[in-house]
Amino acid sequence: MSSLLQFGPVNPAVLSFVVGAIAVVVLLVRFDVPPFIGLLISAFIVASITPQIPLQNVASEIATEFGNTMTEIGIPILMAAVIGKSLTGSRSANRILQAFTSITKQKRIEWALFASGFILAIPVFFDNVFYLLVPLAWAASTRIDGDNYALYVVMIGAAAGAANRYVPPTPAPLTITEILNVDVGITILVGTAIAIPTATVVGGGYGYFINERIHIPLRESSFLADMDVTDTAHDHERMPGLFESLLPILLAVVLVASQTVVSTFAPENQRLVVITDFIGNPNFSLTVAAIAAVLTYYRVAEIDSEEWSSELTDSLQVGGNIAAITSAGSAFGAVLAAAGIGGVIAGYLSELGFGLLVTGWVIAAAVRIVQGSATVAVLTTAQIVQPLTDHLVVHPVYLTLVIGTGGAIFSWYNDSGFWIVSEIGGLTQKETLQTWTVVTTLSSVIGLVVILVLSRLFPLV
């Protein structure tokens, strides 16, 4: 028996996609089912009506895809969560912000927030970066003139969003590299080349534009009311040095990049290849970076070992939830791919003159707008287009990144990021739409343009 349902003239791939999209929206948006559970239920629904998957194999197929994804990204995501907690708990993140502020000076503190957001969002989840930097933006706006809060929010959102979208080891690009079999080091290099101009144009261009047109007052939101922003911004004594603060980030980037450099420029040196394949593996490199971060956290933080251990355990729980959601999203995307929807959509878009890069962007953007989660959008799209990568005329790293930028478009009510910005930042829903929603949309469109231009100038094949 191939599936629960047999279809007549209806294209089963299209029906599977429609049923899957409806299931995700109803479960995650309408009934607010936890994403992990909602995604697994949706995967079972789609797999059960997909003729290409024998009914007796549905459960094992989903479990296998879930396990394969967890094997690849489980440790890196958990270690990234530990790094993020340690950077904030040790005040290393504040030290990085101060370093950039000393360069930009207070008159251009928006660029200090921009640079800090970009650097911190590489190993730290977006919500943690926002939790950290918004109180500093609040404090900066209070100290200077109180009229630039909208600019600061846009700058943080544009920079942290771009790094989180394009530069591993953040979960989405890291997982896509595994699905599309793209080197992580190349993704970091090319992703950074795309993220910086995209974030700069959106943050600087739209940030100054909207700041002249709206005024966001500094409301006493519950999150900010509990923060000692003056101490956060100025207490030097309890902060580690700049090098120690940056060390976890530097270790992660250098170790991962070593594998790419050696495989590109010295592939004949087998001894060196073996070493860099080991130290450049994200499972190892992120673990080393996490060790450096937690040691600094333990040395600097004024807490005992029991509380220190408890804080790290809490971060692992957060990371485990994200890894589980990511793996469930990958399983959901895999059963959609098995239904053949990628070929159907790609064929339709090809008739409109779209290439595979634009096709990937359109699919990710459509899934994102409908169901809200950027992670689900990019994982679903990656699984759909993976069988089509042989048709690429440029390096698949561009497909990896264009999926990420498509999946980031138009964050609104069905996206948790929208509510993080609104509630943590003390913004009304209208103000969040005017700032964060526009930033995500502009970033997605401009990112697509940058990727298309770079892929044409530097195809890397």
Digit-coded pLDDT (tens) for 258-294: 887 887 778 899 999 999 999 988 899 889 999 999 9
Per residue in 344-372, pLDDT (tens digit) is: 776 676 566 678 899 899 989 988 887 67
Least confident of 136-145, 322-331, 364-373, 429-438: 136-145
What's the pLDDT score for residue 42? 92
Q: Give the long-range contacts of residues 225-229, CB within 8 A, separation 24 or more.
A: 227/135, 227/138, 229/135, 229/136, 229/138, 229/139, 229/142
Average pLDDT, the chain: 85
Domain range summary for the chain, segments of one domain joined by +: 12-457
Tokens of 90: 């040790």
Question: pLDDT at position 287, please?
Answer: 93
Task: Note the pLDDT of residue 235.
Answer: 56
- Return the pLDDT at 47: 94
What average pLDDT does range 50-66 have in this prediction? Answer: 93
Q: What whole-number percentage of the chain has pLDDT above 70?
A: 89
More confident site: 351 or 81: 81
Neighbouring CB atoms inside 10 A of 217's CB total: 13
Residue 218 has pLDDT above 60, yes or no: yes
CA 274, CA 386: separation in Å to the nearest integer?
Answer: 28
Please give the average per-residue pLDDT across 237-249, as a whole number: 87
Confidence of residue 414 (pLDDT cuts 50, 70, 90): low
Question: pLDDT: is 124 or 14 the higher one?
Answer: 14
Given a cut of 70, whether residue 6 has pLDDT beyond it is no
Rg (the chain; Cα; Å) = 22
pLDDT at 227 over 50: no
pLDDT band, residue 172 (cuts 50/70/90): confident
Confidence class of residue 379 from pLDDT cuts 50, 70 and 90? Answer: confident
Residue 229 has pLDDT above 50, yes or no: no
Separation of alpha carbons 1 and 127, rounded Å = 45
Position 191 scores a pLDDT of 95
What confidence score (pLDDT) does residue 352 get? 67
Average pLDDT over residues 68-86: 87
Q: Indicate whether 223 pLDDT > 50.
A: no
Residue with tokens 């420029």: 265
Residue 49 confidence class, pLDDT cut points 50, 70, 90: very high
Q: What percent of the chain has pLDDT over 90?
A: 38
User: In Å, what is the CA distance from 448 to each residue of 33, 123, 339, 395?
Assistant: 32, 23, 27, 15
List b or e across 299-310, with b for residues whose CB sees 16 or more CB atoms inside 10 angstroms.
Answer: ebbeeeeeebee
Q: What is the 3-state secondary structure (H, E, C) of the chain?
A: CCCCCCCCCCCHHHHHHHHHHHHHHHHHHHCCCCHHHHHHHHHHHHHHCCCCCCHHHHHHHHHHHHHHHHHHHHHHHHHHHHHHHHHHHCCHHHHHHHHHHHHHCHHHHHHHHHHHHHHHCCCCCHHHHHHHHHHHHHHHHHHHCCCCHHHHHHHHHHHHHHHHHHCCCCHHHHHHHHHHCCCHHHHHHHHHHHHHHHHHHHHHHHHHHHHCCCCCCCCCCHHHHCCCHHHHHHCCCCCCCHHHHHHHHHHHHHHHHHHHHHHHHCCCCHHHHHHHHHHCCHHHHHHHHHHHHHHHHHHHCCCCHHHHHHHHHHHHHHHHHHHHHHHHHHHHHHHHHHCCHHHHHHHHHHHCCCCHHHHHHHHHHHHHHHHCCHHHHHHHHHHHHHHHHHHCCCCHHHHHHHHHHHCCCCCCCCCHHHHHHHHHHCCCHHHHHHHHHHHHHHHHHHHHHHHHHHHHHCCCC
Read off the pLDDT band of 139 (50, 70, 90): low
